[in-house]
Amino acid sequence: MQGNAPICGKANQEMAPTKAIREFCVGQPNAEVIPLSVIGHENPMIYDWTCKGTKPAIARQIFSVDARGFPAELWKEIAPAKT
């Protein structure tokens, strides 16, 4: 996972790179990691991105998505309140 903590919004499952990701790879060929400052913080991405030459590529899937569209690994089970 990348350097910043993910938020708990619906997952961004987009497999096409954004304009910002494409521009980053042009300026940083062969970058192993594309930072969240480029990828965005709005919704947790389920993929880590990298640059293969000047072209963006999905490096790996980091989250699975539950039936409602949220990253399953970000859910935490909590105990019911004691009354």
Task: Kindly provide the b/e burial profile for residues 14-30, where b requires at least 16 CB atoms within 10 angstroms of the residue's own CB.
Answer: eeebbeebeebbeeeee
DSSP labels, 2-67: -SSPPPSS--B---SPPHHHHHHHHHSTT-S---HHHH-SSS-BSEEEEEETTEEEEEEE---B-T
Which pLDDT score is estimated for 72?
87
Give the model confidence (pLDDT) of 51-71 as tens digits.
Answer: 999 999 999 999 999 999 988
Give the model confidence (pLDDT) of 9-31 as tens digits.
Answer: 788 888 999 999 999 999 999 99
Task: Supply the pTM of this predicted model.
Answer: 0.74
DSSP labels, 54-67: TEEEEEEE---B-T
